[in-house]
Structure 1
Amino acid sequence: MLKALPLNRRGIPSSRIALGCMGLGGGWDREPVTASNMKQGHEALDAALSIGINFFDHADIYTRGKAEKVFGQIFKERPGLRGDILLQSKCGIKLMEPGDISNSFDLSREHILSSVDGTLARLGTEYIDILLLHRPDPLMDPEEVAEALHQLKASGKVRHFGVSNMSAAQIQLLQTYCDEPFIVNQLHMSLSRISWVDAVLSVNRDPWKDITFPEGTMEYCRAGNIQLQAWGPLAQGLFSGRPLEGQPENVVNTAAMVRRLADEKATTPEAIVLAWLMTHPAAIQPVIGTVNPQRIAACAGADQLELSRKEWYELYVTSRGEKLP
């Protein structure tokens, strides 16, 4: 049986799977939201609700704010919906503008506060259930962050806080100054992005290939009842129907194994890929990034599957393409 989410243990009634909304709103341009964009939003929302998803993940930058605008318009058209769902958004990334050489990160007090105000205006809501700090900012002053989060909590604009793409040490630094607990860490984890498992097994060994996941992050989050969320959990369809021409042998073999398990368990490849994450005892919450209603529906039942230890390890070893010691 799958373990309860840390969010649930904190009294937050979240579904086991979340829907990531980065694909809503059209392109990453400054064109207005269209009727077609709104139709897509309604259909994705309905597909998610139909399989029990009540948790929706946004960011201020997604399609340059248009993803949040789509949801804001949906709330206007469907009164009462806001109270039935959980909204998470993120701040801290500044998209490249003309004259800039790159995107940049900004966790200054002023940027956090202005970003949240923008998100609330686009969503047309008075509060965000959870706000994540989107990326580590090398120039971050944790005391400034603490001031911003305190102000957001006191004003009722944000109920809970978390981070994204951060290590245990980075969370610890923030928590030293912040009174409010960080209850989420959203990380890139999937059957194709397995460095979070490799990091556990690489202790006291020569570094394995592709070890970029900070050692101790999984353990820190589990010990602190911090919800681990996985972004990109479907691996962009790599194991559930995407063409595999030119892909390496380990990817082709993993896709074949996923299909075999799906057939044996009378389910979909998407459900197997998600079940591999959710079988882990850390109670990982996948944040699926598709807004295609058919692919959302294909994730139904993933939270009812639990792979055997043998199946879990076979998928992991096949994906990494290298035997364990």
Structure 2
Amino acid sequence: MRTIKLGTSELEVPVVAVGCMRINSLDQKAAERFIQTSLENGANFFDHADLYGAGECEEIFADAVQMNDDVRENLILQSKCGIRPDVGTFDFSKEHIVQSVEKILQRLKTDYLDVFLLHRPDALMEPEEVAEAFDILESSGKVRHFGVSNQNPMQMELLSKYLKQPIVANQLQLSITNTTMISSGINVNMENEAAVNRDGSVLDYCRLKDITIQPWSPFQYGFFEGVFLGNEKFPELNKRIDEVAAKYEVSNTTIAIAWLLRHPANMQPVIGTMNESRLLECIKASDVHLTREEWYSIYRSAGNILP
């Protein structure tokens, strides 16, 4: 699979990341087959979070991959912390970050994470504490690269004022039907809903700072309301996606991911499927380069407007 550099780091990562939020829906054998299929096809970047299955997903992954030093060399592991449903808070305190990473490493049966992200912004974040936590994790060799999730430019600027480490990635919701970060840039100075800048131009900021955007829920519309592919709510979109898929002799799933990869921001979509066939369809998007006309026609068919 095609690779990109993650942020400003020298870490080469596949353009499609495998999200493990639903791996607890598989039994042991199915999880082993899924991970093996991923690795055989160059998808060796696995995204986790301590939130997923309350940690169970990381344990299942480690068992399914039969983690040891030799296996670990072929994996790129990313995880996140900061959401605490047990107490109803977000938590970026130094103590919670450091302890969370320790527990993540135990569950994944590894000594280090390639990438660690802060999950959802914490309104009570003290950036000095985050910086101390990152220094502890980096100096101990437990985390090699750092990033964030769902943060806007000023939140990243505030963090960067204190961090020694660069922010290499930002996970953000983005799909053909959730395009606010793209649409606001197209509709600058227009009096319409699409012109509303809800995220502080996070797309342009990440491009300026060489921060890799990792789109999450690339097949969802709304906030986990359902998938748009094959959905009768989006007839024009599906008609156009199917036409483009027929041209390239691939599935509609492939085109949905290829649409994200066509953007010059060099994004790394995080897919959440646990279906091997669909996984392969997503991976195939690495080889599909949509034309400018195809990209815009898909964008418009989702109900997005051009001024």
Band the TM-score falls in, shorter-chain normalisation: over 0.9
1:30 matched residue in structure 2: none
- Distance of aligned partners of 1:118 and 1:322 in 2 relative to their CA distance in 1, 3 Å threshold: closer
Q: Which runs of 5+ in 2 are unaligned?
A: none
2:267 matched residue in structure 1: 284
2:306 matched residue in structure 1: 324
Equivalent residue in structure 2 for 1:299, among 267, 282, 290: 282
1:264 matched residue in structure 2: 247
Tell me the C-alpha RMSD between the 2 structures.
Answer: 2.0
Would you say the 8 A contact 2:174–2:217 is kept in 1?
yes
- Distance of aligned partners of 1:82 and 1:213 in 2 relative to their CA distance in 1, 3 Å threshold: farther
Q: Which runs of 5+ in 1 are unaligned?
A: 27-35
1:161 matched residue in structure 2: 146
1:182 matched residue in structure 2: 167
Would you say the 8 A contact 1:15–1:53 is kept in 2?
yes
**How far apart, in 2, do the equivalents of 1:171 and 1:199 lie?**
20
The reply to whether residue 114 of structure 1 matches residue 114 of structure 2 is no
**How far apart, in 2, do the equivalents of 1:210 and 1:136 lie?**
24
2:113 matched residue in structure 1: 128
Q: Report Cα offsets for 1:23-75 as digits up to 9, x if no partner.
A: 0124xxxxxxxxx5322321221222232211000001101111100122134
Secondary structure at the residue paired with 1:148?
Answer: helix
Counterparts of 1:1-325 in structure 2 under 5 Å?
A: 5-7=4-6, 10-26=9-25, 37-76=27-66, 80-95=70-85, 97=86, 103-209=88-194, 211=196, 213-235=198-220, 238-241=227-230, 244-245=231-232, 247=233, 251-319=234-302, 321-325=303-307
Q: Report Cα offsets for 1:204-233 as digits up to 9, x if no partner.
A: 222515946413211111111111111111
Q: Report Cα offsets for 1:241-261 as digits up to 9, x if no partner.
A: 4xx34x2xxx22101111111
Aligned residues: 302
- Distance of aligned partners of 1:116 and 1:260 in 2 relative to their CA distance in 1, 3 Å threshold: same
Secondary structure at the residue paired with 1:163?
Answer: strand
**How far apart, in 2, do the equivalents of 1:184 and 1:25 lie?**
25
**How far apart, in 2, do the equivalents of 1:256 and 1:46 lie?**
34
Q: Which amino acid aligns with 1:315?
A: I
Q: Which amino acid aligns with 1:118?
A: K
**How far apart, in 2, do the equivalents of 1:155 and 1:144 lie?**
17
Would you say the 8 A contact 2:187–2:194 is kept in 1?
no
Deviates more, 1:179-188 or 1:290-299: 290-299
Secondary structure at the residue paired with 1:204?
Answer: coil
Q: Give the structure-2-normalised TM-score.
A: 0.92
Q: Which amino acid aligns with 2:93?
A: S
**How far apart, in 2, do the equivalents of 1:292 and 1:210 lie?**
37
